[in-house]
């Protein structure tokens, strides 16, 4: 639990387009009464607040890359692995943040170098075929220039520990504790039955060679950036030293969130 108190004067908002503003009436009254203002430029902000689900939190995390400012994620979506604060508890959480009664959950980005450009993904990069009618792609994976495997599949997911409970999990990947410096390689609908997910050291550099019979392969980052990939493109990835700081109450530990979201222990048939 942090003991660092924070002066809160300016907030940058990141909102879902489906946001129900009526749920935030108490919050808006609080910031108005306390002279806290909204800013558009994150460089001026003391805090970023995201209103939505985990997808909105991903957008807020990218904003935090521009300035080392923490993110408070309010769950107004469905799952909410990252966004744990409810709208009705937001005012209380703001007070706790100002008084230093909070926990900082640091999550590492995946640093992706595509040709000469660098991108950051909090969840995953996906190398995948272009569409339903496209042929399977062939992806060669190397770790520090050592050959790992060749996948003939719909695609390959490379997930951070944060992303291990997202797309990778739905494709059969393992859940990875957020504090581990590791990444998961998960094949997406592979042709061979022996292709299985593997967890590797996130400090090592992964590189990829992608082959597509119909020239229809793509690089997707967190579902928000999609780039058509050519056979001679250079693609590298490793876990970055850059992290986003997510403000949490500390009332729920990681495993309690998993039990709640994944319904661990619930009866299958009632």
Residues labelled as active-site residues: 54
Could you tell me if 155 and 126 are in contact, meaning their C-beta atoms sit under 8 angstroms apart? yes
Q: Could you tell me which of 215, 231, 241, 229 has the C-alpha nearest to residue 126? A: 229
The three-state (H, E, C) secondary structure of 203-233, written as one string = CCCEEEEEEECCCCEEEEECCCEEEEECCCC
State the Cα–Cα distance between residues 51 and 33, nearest whole angstrom: 21
Paired tokens of 38: 């909204």
Closest C-alpha among 185, 204, 203 to residue 143: 204
User: For 67, left (φ over 0), alpha (ψ -120 to 50), or beta?
Assistant: beta
Instruction: Return the closest-CA partner of residue 246 out of 127, 34, 85, 110.
Output: 85
Q: Give the relative orientation of helices 25-33 and 90-98 as an angle to the nearest 10 degrees.
A: 30
For 119-136, the DSSP string reads EEESSEEEEEESSTTSPP
Helix (H) or strand (E) holding 58: helix 54-64
Contacts of 135 (CB under 8 A, 6+ apart): 129, 212, 213, 214, 216
């Amino acid at each position: 639990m942090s003991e660092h108190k924070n002066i809160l004067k300016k907030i940058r908002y990141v909102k879902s387009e489906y946001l129900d503003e009526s749920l935030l009436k108490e919050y808006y009254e609080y910031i108005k009464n306390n002279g806290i203002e909204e800013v558009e430029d994150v460089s001026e902000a003391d805090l970023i607040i995201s209103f939505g689900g985990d997808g909105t939190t991903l957008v807020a995390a990218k904003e935090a890359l521009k300035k080392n400012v923490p993110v408070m994620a309010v769950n107004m979506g469905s799952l909410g692995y990252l966004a744990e604060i409810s709208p009705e508890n937001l005012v209380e959480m703001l007070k706790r943040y100002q008084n230093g009664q909070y926990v900082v959950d640091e999550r590492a980005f995946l640093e992706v170098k595509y040709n000469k450009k660098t991108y950051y993904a909090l969840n995953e990069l996906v190398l995948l075929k272009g569409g339903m009618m496209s042929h399977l792609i062939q992806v060669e994976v190397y770790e520090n220039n050592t050959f790992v495997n060749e996948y003939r599949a719909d695609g390959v997911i490379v997930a951070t520990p944060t992303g291990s409970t997202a797309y990778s999990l739905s494709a059969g990947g393992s859940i990875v504790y957020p504090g581990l410096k590791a990444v998961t390689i998960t094949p997406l609908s592979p042709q061979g039955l022996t292709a299985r997910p593997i967890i590797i050291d996130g400090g090592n550099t992964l590189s990829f060679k992608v082959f597509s019979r119909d020239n229809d392969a793509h690089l997707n980052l967190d579902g928000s950036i999609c780039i058509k990939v050519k056979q001679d493109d250079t693609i590298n990835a490793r876990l970055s030293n850059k992290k986003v700081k997510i403000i949490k109450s500390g009332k729920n530990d990681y495993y309690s969130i998993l039990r709640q979201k994944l319904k661990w222990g619930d009866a299958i048939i009632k």
